[in-house]
């Protein structure tokens, strides 16, 4: 009886020490571990986005590109080393993924106040949420407690991330491979209501595709000639480029989706995903609600918790 009593005391003390969320994500994971963590991330993201609105889209994309490759483990932040080639040089990321310096600054600040406590994966996840909010979009509850990977997956980054030239069926397949429905794919595509894209990714669409507004195509051609200017930028959302809203879907109805993979969400025969696009175009609250739910789901993809992975003290390198 005495031994059993002592065991129960030790077990209770252990649970108190590790707190809620050991081995799983928790809404209050940093409440005692690092009380200022979430507010620090929010403050620094707000400042970064105020300085450059495009950064909000870049950080949202960084989170997406992280989670779709081996899960939300901050693997995209790792630089190449002697053991592996990182994901930064993968085709979807090279010369386009950005925001690494902002994450570095946040990590440095958090290391000052709570050394070796807040994971890079959690920083990325909260930063994505706060970036959307800073640009006028919805908020959502981010459960925390992710840990960081000790490796990266270049091949996965080259194969798993859905590209801008995919048809509708290919998009559905790509998102289904990560557990998302076709409806959730349409919802998450709404992230293209902010951000910019390079000319070479939409050149074929504006010169060769028929399902595009002619006046819109003409405007894009000014800064994206038939040859040259590959890295020239255009807004993904021509209507409100620096505001997170539902204009992306309105643009699709007006044949002003800049990427092939955008416009295929509103097929000419008005079948499949067209109804959802139309619904979001008139009911922004519906898009916001669905987007928040889809982002929660994405943020939970194959996370590392408990004793898996590590808490990197520098997001670019393994401890």
In angstroms, the CA 257 to CA 61 distance is 18
Structure tokens at 316: 């670019």
Q: Which two tokens stand for residue 53?
A: 């609105």
Out of 65, 192, 260, 275, the active site residue is 65
Q: Is 275 a catalytic site residue?
A: no
CA distances from 153 to 3, 44, 90, 156 (A): 48, 29, 9, 5
| Separation between Cα atoms, residue 251 and residue 232, nearest integer Å | 21
Residues designated as active site:
65
């Amino acid at each position: 009886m005495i031994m059993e009593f002592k065991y129960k005391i030790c077990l209770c003390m252990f649970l108190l020490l590790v707190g809620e969320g050991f081995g799983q994500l928790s809404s209050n994971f940093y409440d005692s571990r690092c009380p200022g963590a979430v507010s620090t991330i929010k403050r620094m993201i707000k400042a970064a986005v105020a300085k450059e609105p495009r950064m909000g889209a870049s950080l949202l994309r960084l989170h997406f590109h992280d989670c779709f490759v081996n899960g939300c483990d901050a693997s995209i932040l790792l630089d190449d080393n002697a053991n592996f080639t990182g994901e930064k040089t993968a085709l979807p990321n090279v010369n386009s993924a950005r925001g690494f310096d902002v994450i570095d600054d946040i990590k440095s600040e958090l290391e000052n106040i709570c050394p070796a406590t807040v994971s890079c994966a959690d920083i990325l996840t909260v930063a994505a949420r706060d970036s959307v909010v800073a640009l006028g979009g919805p908020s959502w509850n981010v459960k925390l407690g992710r840990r960081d990977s000790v490796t990266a997956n270049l091949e996965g980054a080259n194969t798993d991330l859905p590209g801008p030239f995919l048809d509708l069926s290919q998009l559905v397949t790509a998102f289904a491979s990560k557990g998302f429905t076709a409806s959730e794919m349409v919802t998450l595509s709404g992230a293209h209501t902010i951000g910019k894209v390079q000319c070479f990714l939409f050149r074929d669409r504006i010169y060769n595709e028929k399902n595009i507004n002619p006046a819109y195509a003409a405007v894009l051609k000014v800064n994206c000639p038939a040859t040259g200017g590959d890295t020239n930028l255009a807004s993904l959302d021509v209507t409100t480029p620096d505001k997170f809203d539902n204009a992306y879907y309105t643009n699709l109805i007006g044949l002003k989706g800049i990427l092939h993979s955008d416009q295929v969400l509103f097929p000419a025969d008005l079948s499949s995903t067209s109804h959802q696009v139309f619904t979001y175009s008139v009911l922004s609250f519906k898009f916001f609600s669905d987007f928040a739910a889809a982002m929660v789901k994405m943020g939970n993809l194959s996370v590392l918790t408990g004793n898996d992975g590590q808490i990197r003290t520098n997001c670019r390198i393994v401890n």
